[in-house]
Structure formats: structure tokens, C-alpha cells
Amino acid sequence: MTRRFFTHGMTRGSWVFLALLAAAGVLVPALNLGLPAGHPLHMPTYAVTLSGKYLTYALLALALDLVWGYCGILSLGHAAFFALGGYAMGMYLMRQIGPRGVYGDPLLPDFMVFLDWQELPWYWLGFDAFPVALAMALVVPGLLAFVFGWFAFRARVGGVYLSIITQAMTYALLLAFFRNDMGFGGNNGLTDFKEILGFDLQSDATRAGLFAASALALGLAFVLCVAITSSRLGKVLVAVRDAESRTRFLGYRVEHYKLFVWTVSAMMAGLAGALYVPQVGIINPGEFAPANSIEAVIWVAIGGRGTLVGPVLGAGLVNFAKSWFTAALPELWLFALGALFIAVTLFLPKGLVGSLPRLWANATSARSKAPPDARTKAPAAAE
Amino acid sequence: MYPPPPTLPRAALNAGAAASAPPAPKSSRGPMIRACLLPPAQAIPALRALLLLALVLGASLAGSLARAEESADLRAAIAALAKGSFAETEKRIAALAALGDARAVPALEALAGGDLYRREADGAVFIARSAGGGYRLTEPLSLQDVGTAGRREVKKIRVNNRLRRTIRAALGALTLSASDPARRLAAAKAILKTRDGEAVEALDQALARETDPQVAAVMQAARAAAVLASDRSAEEKSAAIDLLAARGDREAMAIVASIATAGDAPLAAQAKAAVARMERSQALWDVARNIWYGLSLGSVLLLAAIGLAITFGVMGVINMAHGEMVMLGAYTAFMVQGLFGALAPGLIDYALVVALPAAFLVTGLVGIAIERGVIRFLHARPLETLLATWGVSLILQQGVRTLFGPTNREVGSPSFMSGAFELGQLTITYNRLWILVFSLTLFAALIAAMRKTRFGLTIRAVTQNRRMAASMGIRTPLVDALTFGLGSGIAGIAGVALSQIDNVSPNLGQSYIIDSFMVVVFGGVGNLWGTLLGAMSLGIANKFLEPFAGAVLAKILVLVFLILFIQKRPRGLFALKGRAVEA
């Protein structure tokens, strides 16, 4: 039964994607660790870390797609959940430093010693245990999303208004985490991590392991998303997206569906953040910046919202382009990103994955017959 | 002339205002002083010349001659500072102050600051600043540069804290007779702070001479404070309490409060009543101050949001590039000012006036281009509009960064916008006042344009019922473009105003975008009056929270409040009603 819940929605494309992801999860660490540094197929460690970072971005994009692509909730605050998950992991990594900090305090992280704090604030307790930190990386974003969604969806705040208040939420958190009094390192955030679960964070093996963990997390989240979207619940979500009032009139408690998928999505984003932090080695309030959330939206848009492979692809492509541009032509990156935003919304409203098959089909069958099929057009939200 | 300066009754002497005041003007008595500094043999002809002058100019200068003789004493008194123990120096400072000559001020200030040095060779005293390997010497009376000295040729005249206090008190009395009103004001304020009971007579004399009403008022207060600290009669003290109570500021309150706890019974009772009165008025002034700051912040929010009230509020376009329109307006002001600086530096005060229409044109045209190029294709797809305009904003930001560089640009303030005035206990700066006036004017102009002009009528027609408007022969695409241009142009004008109080950098717009959306949503989308009320109430709420929570936390609280408010009233304070809403 449970097995069917997870597998019956899997299409051939989904299996191919999972197979590719699994192959990458095995091959990349193998190419990095198994081959000597001079070997032509050797994968340098920085590339492993970079790809691992892309995978966490892809997980964030997947989370965003679940609410935007399938339920029509455009969140401009998903970076907040991502960053909260990151802070939870960062707190664990901070505690792991132990007495090896600059000030050598056995209990307090360096920034607290610097601020002359005498004892660990209560909300830092327990973060020295990895399971607690990992749980918090899921629970804290989930709880915030639940409370936020509880109010917002019951009040039927929707569409643009919801987008604007999610942006206000992440902005408020940005301001809050900048404060030194919050006890999260203020402006500098948390950094100087040493090890995770006893493994040195600088070593190649740990980095390869983190990559594999990211791939695994992405794979599991993907399966979960497939299960959700192909279930009966998923159909209701799509109905909410396309005609919210009509769904409500049919007797569905729209706000419950929204709240469920919103909370799940926030927890996925938190997990992405938790995997992101050990790979980049720092978390600071800048991660809450509203611009980050909006950038994540473009990953989904360009890959194709309403498809599950699309956001992963979009996150990878955009971030690869970003890495390339900021190294080669830093001046031009924002021009390119801005143009991408405009071009995708104007010319590729369904994104790459959503549009390419159609374009392909049109190209191959254009000459034979195929009058424009009216039914393939997305029905306008009739409210 | 003045009583010898006492050691201070209270040690709580801050680095007095007198010490940080600018050096005394040296022009007025320059030639004469120089004459006195000459060796005696040469000084005599100089004095003769002065005598001649005095004859020509009349009796007024005869006094000066007497002072010229006095300055020999002054010189001796300053030179005497270099010798002896601390206790002796204290006496000498008193003697110097007793001469009552404001020309001794620089020397005393230098002594307090550790800049007064004695030349080993001849025992002469100089103000010295270290320069290169040695010191640059300044004659303490004439303030003339007299060359340099090596490190070993001069010796610092030492002071201790007790001496420093003595010096401050002496300075307070001396500077009361300075010729610069700002300096007299500083001296009076210093006495107000130290509450020196011995200064009453000095203040009486200074008050008799004082012509500047503002300085006189502070001197009165200082005198009252001094009377309370002295052993004068109870009637005088009672009058002093009344005077301070009428003044009513924090300093006066502190002085009266100290009498309330420490004074004799009838005086203490009077002081207690006065403190209670003053506390009430203080509380009122605090409220007034918060309201003023709040209105000031609200006017900034209004400026930032007013263009968005058109593009988002009236048209319903989620314009994330709105902040960049503000930024472009600010840069237009920078460019116009640069043009004025190059072509007509004399008219630089009018640069901002010219920048207003220029910014309206520039950003209005950019806005029309955005509407024609991007937004019209995304009609009725608000979320996509949001993304596309965000893309536009990235391009505009980077474009400005590439053209002008990432650093802050300075837009100067015209002279009529600098300075401040006092309104009761409020200090109101002109630039804030102008911005408040300007934002309200802009708002009124916009309301008038929407209500009274034909263009405004067509805008309202198109936004309320597009198809009907089109049927009536209104060219809706043109109206869309012009409306977006209007909103953008107004954002640009706001940018010119904001360039006066904020850094003009490519990131200028980003810092306003969330605030301005919040204001528009809070006030009620599509309702201009709501935007005005929203901006002002958010500004005031912010400023009332700040004393309790601090600036950042206040902002966070306001944001959280807004998030909760939108849950309660998703369409803002003043929601539009009727069929237009459903469209």
C-alpha cells in the first residue's frame, strides 16, 4: 500500500531522472576519491562541492515548485526557510568546534565570548547532538510555515498579497538575524566550522559524502513530491491552483490543502539549507535577503513549474551560468539574469521542460497535420 | 573684573562645550596684539601709533590702549603657568581668569588639552602640535605661527584632573565675554551644566552686555542654576526655580530635581511641584517629538510609495522595478547638479528645482518603455509581471552600476534646505521639513491630477472597467502606457527628494521596495488617501516603538504587525468596494 503510494505516480521520465541522480551520487564521489589527481577523469574537490551546492539549490527549487507549480502559491520568502534550516545546521557545527575556537571557550562559540555572554542561550541547548539539529532544521521552518500559513490561508490571503507578505516575512527575519542580541552571530553569522559527525569538513572524503547525502536527499524529496502530486491530494492542489473558489464550492477545505503542502515545502527548503551550510562553510543573515527568494523563483520558472524535473534542471542551469558569469564576466551577470527573468516570462511561460516537448512535437508534426489543439491551452482561472 | 574662578563644586564636568568650540576669532585684535608681543624697544613706537589711532578714532579706542597695557600682565600670567607645582599652577590659573580677558582662552584650552609647552631656552610658552619630528609652535596670545621646535627644545606643561576642572571653570567665566555669540552660548551652557554658584556675578555682567536673545536666554538659565548652587537668599532661589521651570528642558529639570531632594523644606516643596509640572510638559514634548519624527519618516515612506500607489495601486501591476525608478530619479538629480556645477555654479541652489521635471521625464520615459516592452504582454498575469519587472530592476541596477560605479554619489543640498530651527523643545531641520512639505504637495498634485483632469478621468475609467472604457472610444493601450509613465515619473521625482537624505547608490531602490509595497497594501490598494494615511501612521508607529525597542526591532515589529494586519484585512485599511474590485 505504502509502496504503491510512492511508486504509482512514477513516470518513465521520473525513473530516468532518479537513475541519473543515483548515478551522479555514486560516480561523482568515485571520480573524486578513486582517481589520482592527475587523471583526466579526476573530479576536483571544488567541483564536487560546487555540484553539491547546486543539488541543495535544486532541492530548494523543488520545494518552491511544489507550492507554486502545483498549488499556485508564489512564495517570495522560501529563502527564509532555507536559511533557518541552514542556521540549525550551523548551530550544530558551531557547537562541534568546542574548545578549538579562537577564544578557546569549551562551551560558548567565539562570537558569544566576544560579546561577553556568560552562558549559552536556552535555544542553543541540545544543538550539540546531530539528530536534534537535523530535526530542528526541519521542525523550525515547518513550524514557522505552519503558523504563517495557518493565519494567511484561513484569512484567504492569496495571489500577489501572499507573495508580498512572504517577502515581508523574510525581510523581517533578515533584520532580526542581523541583530547581535539574537544570539546567532549577527552580521557575520556562523562560520569557521571544523567537523561534522566527527569528519573533518575540509577533507575530500567528507565533501564527497556531503555530495552523496545531497543527492540522496534530493532523490527522496523528488519521490515524495511525485507521490504527493500524483495522489488524490495532488489533484485537489492543482484544482486549487486553477480555480480556487470552484474547489471551495465543491466542498474541499482549500486552506487545509494549502497549509499541508506549504508546510511540507518549507521543511524541504529547511533540509536544503541544512545540507547547504556544511558545503559552503558559512551561514549569515544575507541568506534571508528577499532577492535570494526571488532568484529561486526564476530557477523554477526557467525549468518549468508544474513539472518536477524542471526546477532541478533550472536550478542547475542558472547556478552554473552564475558561476561561469561571475568568474568570467562579473559585470554582465545581473544583465543576463535580468534578461532571463524577462525572456522566460514572455517567451517560455511553461519553462524549458514544459515547453520543449511541445516545441519538439510541433516541429516534427507541423508538416503532416496537427491543427492547433485548443485543449492543450491552459484553461484560464475562471473565478 | 571677575571673581577668581573657584574649583568646581561638582566634578561632573564633561569635556566642556567651551573646549570643543572653534578657536576665538583672531582678526579683530590682531595688529594690536602683535604690537604688544614685540620686544619692549620696538613696542613703544607701535604703541605710539596706536595712540595716534586712538586720537583719530575717538575715545572708544582709549580703552583698547588700556587693554594693551593689560596684555603685558596677561602675557606674564600665561608664562607663569609653566612654573611651579600643581597647587601653584591652580592659583595662577585663578589669577589668569581674574584678569577676565577672553584672549587667555586659547592658552587655557591648550593647557587643558596638554598642548601647552614651555621652551627650554627662554621659558616662553607656546601652543604646540606635533609635526614631523618636532613641534609646530603657536604664540598663545596672537595665535601666530612662530615656527617649529625640536622634540627636546620644548617641554609639556603638565596638568592633572583637578587642574583640568579648574581650567574648565575658568574658561566658562572667560568665554562669557567672547565676541563670538556661539562661544558665549557654549560658555553659558557649560555653566548651566556645572551649576557653579560663584558664576552669578560673571553672568550678571555678561547678561548686561548680551544682545543676542538666544544667548541671553541660556545665560538666564545658567544664572538661575548658579543662584541655586550659591548661598543666596531664598527669594532669589525661588525665582530661579520658577525661571528654570518655565524653561522646562531636561537640563533645567535635572537642576530643579536636585533642589527637590537636597534643598530646604519650602524650596524643596516648590521644586517638587515644579519638577512635576516639567515632567508633564516633557512627556508632551516627547510625544510631539515622536510625532514629528514619525511624520518625517512617514513623508519618506509616502515619497517612496506614492508612485507605486499608481502603478500597483491603481493599475494593479506588481512593479518590482519601482525602487529603481526612485533610484533613477536620484541619479538624474546627481546629473543635473553636475551640469549646473559645470555650466552655472552660481545657480547651483536651483539644480534641484530643475532636477524635478528632468527626473519626471527620464523615469516617465523609462516607465513607458517598460510598459510597452514588457508589461503589456503580461496583462492579467500578475505573478509573471512580478518576475519580469524584477528582471527589469536587475538590469537597471546593473546598468547604473556600470555607468556610475558602485559607490555612493553625493547630491548636495541647496542652502535653503540646510540648517535647523527650534520650535519649543523640538529641533526641526529644514531638509526634513522641506521633504514633508514636498511629499504632501506631490500627493496633492497627484490627487488633483486624478480627480480634476481629463487624463485622470480616463485612467480611472480604464482601471475600473477596461472594456467599457474601450467601447467609449478611450485608447486603453495608450492610457496604460501613460499611467505607468505617470507612476514611474512620480517615483523619479520622489527619488530627487530622497537623494537629499539617503545615499545615492545603485542599491537605493532596493531599500525602499518592501516598505513601499507595505505602505500601499496597508493603506488599501487603489486608494491614494489610504497610501497617505498608511505612510504616516506606519512612520509614527515606528517612531513610537523605537524608544522601547530600538530602531531595528521597531521595524521588525511593524513588519510583523503588517503581516498580521493583512490577514485581518487583506485589502488594506480602505478597501475599494464595488464591482471594480472583482474585475
Taking only the tens place, the pLDDT of each residue in B217-240 is: 888 888 888 887 777 777 888 888
Phi/psi zone of residue A179: left (φ > 0), alpha (ψ -120 to 50 degrees), beta? beta
Neighbouring CB atoms inside 10 A of B410's CB total 11
> Element (H or E) spanning A195, and its range?
strand A195-196
| Cβ within 8 Å of residue A6, ≥6 positions away | A223, A224, A226, A227
* pLDDT higher than 50, residue B7: no
In terms of domains, do B441 and B536 share one? Answer: yes
Q: Identify all chain B residues contacting A169, using CB atoms and an 8 Å cutoff.
A: 559, 563
Contact yes or no for A293/A75 (Cβ under 8 A)? yes
Dihedral sign for Cα B158, B161, B162, B167, please: positive
Dihedral sign for Cα A322, A325, A328, A329, please: negative
The average pLDDT across B14-38 equals 39
> Element (H or E) spanning B449, and its range?
helix B430-452
Read off the pLDDT band of B535 (50, 70, 90): very high
CA B547 remoteness from chain centre? 19
- B513 vs B15, residue with greater confidence: B513
Give all strands (DSSP E) within B64-114, no chain letters.
none
Ranges of chain A whose pLDDT falls below 50: 369-383
DSSP-derived secondary structure for B272-333:
HHHHHHHHHHHHHHHHHHHHHHHHHHHHHHHHHHHHHIIIIIIT----TTHHHHHHHHHHHH
Contact residues, A window 155-214, toward B, CB-based 8 Å cutoff: 155-157, 159-161, 163-165, 167-169, 171-172, 175-176, 178-179
In the listed set B263, B295, B310, which residue is the last one of a domain according to the structure? B263
The average pLDDT across B474-483 equals 92
Contact B391 A339 (CB under 8 A): yes
| Cβ within 8 Å of residue B318, ≥6 positions away | A160, A163, B312, B382, B383, B385, B386, B389
Classify residue B10: in a domain, yes or no: no
In terms of domains, do B335 and B305 share one? Answer: yes
Classify residue B5: in a domain, yes or no: no
In terms of domains, do B144 and B210 share one? Answer: no
Classify residue B372: in a domain, yes or no: yes
Contact A161 B392 (CB under 8 A): no
> What torsion do the CA atoms of A60, A66, A71, A73 make, to the nearest 10 degrees?
0
Contact yes or no for B81/B92 (Cβ under 8 A)? yes
Q: Reduced to 3 DSSP states, what percent helix, strand and coil does chain A have, rounded to the nearest 5? A: 75, 0, 25
Can you give the C-alpha Rg of chain B in angstroms? 33
Contact A159 B382 (CB under 8 A): yes
Using the Cβ of A381 and the Cβ atoms of chain B, whether some distance falls under 8 Å is answered with no
Q: Which residues of B touch A (CB under 8 A)?
A: 318, 320, 374, 377-378, 381-388, 390-395, 397-399, 401-402, 510, 514, 517-518, 521, 552-553, 555-556, 559-560, 562-564, 566-568, 570
The average pLDDT across B200-216 equals 79
In terms of domains, do B239 and B301 share one? Answer: no
Q: Identify all chain A residues contacting B374, using CB atoms and an 8 Å cutoff.
A: 342, 346
Using the Cβ of A335 and the Cβ atoms of chain B, whether some distance falls under 8 Å is answered with yes
Closest residue by Cα to residue B443 from B375, B510, B490? B490
| ipTM above 0.90 for this complex | no
Looking at residue B148, what DSSP letter applies? E
Contact yes or no for A236/A257 (Cβ under 8 A)? yes
In the listed set B135, B170, B192, which residue is the last one of a domain according to the structure? B192
In terms of domains, do B308 and B453 share one? Answer: yes
Query: pTM for this one?
Result: 0.74
* pLDDT higher than 60, residue B83: yes
In chain A the first and final C-alpha atoms are separated, in Å, by 37
Q: Identify all chain B residues contacting A151, using CB atoms and an 8 Å cutoff.
A: 564, 567
Question: What letters, b where the CB count within 10 A reaches 16 and e where it falls short, cover B252-288?
Answer: bbebbbbbbeebeeebeebbbebbeebeeebeebeee
What is the greatest pairwise CA distance in chain A?
A: 78
- The pLDDT value given to residue A224: 95
Residue A297's closest chain B neighbor by CA? B387
Residue B135 to residue B128: CA distance in whole angstroms: 6
Classify residue B275: in a domain, yes or no: no
Contact yes or no for B289/B429 (Cβ under 8 A)? no
* pLDDT higher than 70, residue B476: yes
Cα–Cα distances in angstroms (integers) from residue A360 to residues A162, A357, A363, in the given order: 36, 5, 5
- The pLDDT value given to residue B36: 40
In terms of domains, do B312 and B444 share one? Answer: yes
Where are the alpha helices (H) located in A181-303, listed in sequence order? 204-230, 232-242, 244-249, 254-280, 290-303
In terms of domains, do B348 and B228 share one? Answer: no
In terms of domains, do B256 and B401 share one? Answer: no
> Which CATH number fits the domain that encloses residue B357?
1.10.3470
Mean of pLDDT over chain B: 79
Q: Domain count of chain B?
A: 3
Give the 3-state secondary structure of residue A196: strand
Q: How many CA atoms lie within 13 A of A193 on its CB side?
A: 27
Find the domain containing B351 and state its range.
Answer: 286-582
Q: Identify all chain A residues contacting B568, using CB atoms and an 8 Å cutoff.
A: 155
Q: Identify all chain B residues contacting A175, using CB atoms and an 8 Å cutoff.
A: 552, 555-556, 559
In terms of domains, do B356 and B452 share one? Answer: yes
Using the Cβ of A344 and the Cβ atoms of chain B, whether some distance falls under 8 Å is answered with yes
In terms of domains, do B538 and B442 share one? Answer: yes
Contact yes or no for B199/B191 (Cβ under 8 A)? yes
In terms of domains, do B446 and B380 share one? Answer: yes
The one-letter amino acid at A297: V
| Cβ within 8 Å of residue B13, ≥6 positions away | B165, B168, B169, B193, B194
Residue with cell 546593473: B398
* pLDDT higher than 80, residue B178: no
Q: Identify all chain A residues contacting B560, using CB atoms and an 8 Å cutoff.
A: 172
Which tens digits make up the pLDDT trace of B231-289? 777 788 888 888 888 877 777 888 887 777 776 777 788 888 888 888 888 888 889 98
Classify residue B468: in a domain, yes or no: yes
Q: Identify all chain B residues contacting A345, using CB atoms and an 8 Å cutoff.
A: 378, 384-385, 387-388, 391
- Domains of chain A, by residue range, sit at 2-368
Residue with cell 584632573: B161
Classify residue B4: in a domain, yes or no: no
* pLDDT higher than 60, residue B541: yes
Residue B205 to residue B188: CA distance in whole angstroms: 12
In the listed set B131, B162, B192, which residue is the last one of a domain according to the structure? B192
Contact B567 A152 (CB under 8 A): yes
- The pLDDT value given to residue A376: 44
Contact yes or no for A303/A315 (Cβ under 8 A)? yes
Which tens digits make up the pLDDT trace of A331-372? 899 999 999 989 988 888 888 888 877 777 777 775 554 444
In terms of domains, do B124 and B251 share one? Answer: no
Dihedral sign for Cα A308, A310, A312, A313, please: positive
Read off the pLDDT band of B57 (50, 70, 90): low
Classify residue B221: in a domain, yes or no: yes
Which residues, in sequence order, are bridge partners of residue B428? B421
Contact yes or no for A93/A196 (Cβ under 8 A)? yes
The one-letter amino acid at A43: M
Contact residues, A window 73-92, toward B, CB-based 8 Å cutoff: 74, 76
Classify residue B11: in a domain, yes or no: no
- The pLDDT value given to residue B51: 52
Which tens digits make up the pLDDT trace of B374-394? 998 987 788 888 889 999 999
Residue A347's closest chain B neighbor by CA? B377
> Element (H or E) spanning A289, and its range?
none
Contact A152 B392 (CB under 8 A): no
